[in-house]
Amino acid sequence: MHPFQQDCDPENPQQHAAWCWAAGVPDPAPARPVPIPLIPPQLAAGISEMLWNFGFRHHPELQTRWIEGSAGLGMLAKIVDSAPVSNFSDLARQFLAEKRPDILEEIDSANSADERAELISKYEKSIDGLQGIIAALRGSG
């Protein structure tokens, strides 16, 4: 399986571009408008290092497309227009921002780590169905 962008060290020659092959490469043939899974996962680190040695570097501040999901041999990941959520804590924050922004704002505006922990404990105990999501906020600090 190709690595995820968030798991690759941009300062490591074998990782800086290894993630980008999960989306395949464009096929110029008009009859085939979908990307081709040309670079298998086993070659990604070597090609990343080769590009590094040629002077290529990733500039995340210029990135306009992202890869969502994973890909392996013969499979492709989706190219999307915004950075995918990368962990459960981010998903929990996204969920609360959409469904209960008042709770997220209260937790985020806590004046101390202890106050934040107390608020999270309060919501863990009082909101049925959201206990696991609120608990995930503990690590997003």
Q: Are residues 18 and 66 in the same domain?
A: yes
> Please, which pLDDT band fits residue 33 given cuts at 50, 70 and 90?
confident
Residues 76 and 136 in one domain: no
Separation of alpha carbons 92 and 123, rounded Å: 13
Residue matched to tokens 């696991």: 132
Query: How far from the centroid of its chain's Cα atoms is residue 140's Cα?
Result: 15
Distance CA 45, CA 138 (A): 34
How confident is the model at residue 3, as a pLDDT? 87
Q: Looking at the structure, do residues 75 and 92 belong to the same domain, yes or no? A: no
Residues 72 and 23 in one domain: yes
Domain closes at, from 58, 80, 102? 80
* Among 36, 58, 80, residue at a domain's last position: 80
* % of the chain residues with pLDDT over 70: 83
140: left (phi over 0), alpha (psi -120 to 50) or beta: alpha
What's the pLDDT at 12? Answer: 96
Measured CA to CA, the distance from residue 44 to residue 37 in angstroms comes to: 12
For residues 30 and 131, which has the higher predicted lDDT (pLDDT)? 30
Task: Report, as an integer, the average pLDDT of 39-43.
Answer: 89
Last residue of some domain: 38, 59, 80? 80
- Domain tally, the chain: 2
Do 12 and 76 lie in one domain? The reply is yes
| Structural domain boundaries enclosing 117 | 88-140
Q: Please tell me whether residues 13 and 51 are part of one structural domain.
A: yes
pLDDT confidence band for 54 (50 / 70 / 90): very high
